[in-house]
Amino acid sequence: MKKNLYFEDVEIGDDIGPIKRSVTDEDVIEFVSVREKEITPSRFTSNEVANREGMPEAIVPGPMNIALMSQILTDWSDTVCLLKIDVVFRQTVPHNIDLTFSGIVTDKDETGDSTKLECDVVMENSDGVKLVIGTGVIALPNKP
């Protein structure tokens, strides 16, 4: 991963990532426990509850997916400032599967008025099915 990117280094069409990872049961429990000290079984932490609610297995919470989608942008470079992220949940995200996160720079303000970049971000499963898609706006510093 390239660190310390500057606005001038980036072109429209540049790829961000990809990053491969999975979200384990333990990851979800850790995430949920930030808000709930004593975790109540839910569709996020219990396959049984998820089954009762019509899902085949426990799923990753939406805010956690948003955080993971943000991470593809913030991990791109230490200099990234994430200004906005907006995602669409296309399918539920199960625990413990291989996920690929990727992004691409889709627009760059070339007027010199700002150092904002617009990016598409995608989370796919191992079959290439897009589970979560979205767009992000980031800023990079100008070269010193």
Tell me how far, at minimum, the Cβ of 23 lies from another protein, in Å.
20
Tell me how far, at minimum, the Cβ of 75 lies from another protein, in Å.
19
Tally of CA atoms within 13 A in the half-sphere of 49 that contains its CB: 9
What b-and-e string marks burial along 82-116, b requiring 16 or more CB atoms within 10 Å of the CB? eeebebeeeebbbbeeebbbbbebeebeeeeeebb
Nearer to another protein, 64 or 122 (CB): 122
* Strand extents, DSSP E, the chain: 15-21, 81-89, 99-108, 116-125, 130-139
Nearer to another protein, 25 or 89 (CB): 89
Nearer to another protein, 11 or 38 (CB): 11
Tell me how far, at minimum, the Cβ of 55 lies from another protein, in Å.
16
Nearer to another protein, 112 or 128 (CB): 128
Tell me how far, at minimum, the Cβ of 138 lies from another protein, in Å.
15
CA distance 97 to 28: 13
135: nearest Cα among 111, 104, 110, 114: 104
Tell me how far, at minimum, the Cβ of 29 lies from another protein, in Å.
29
Residue ranges in contact with another protein by CB under 8 A: 12-13, 86, 88, 90, 104, 106-107, 118, 120, 122, 127-130, 133-135
CA distance 77 to 23: 22
Nearer to another protein, 15 or 78 (CB): 15
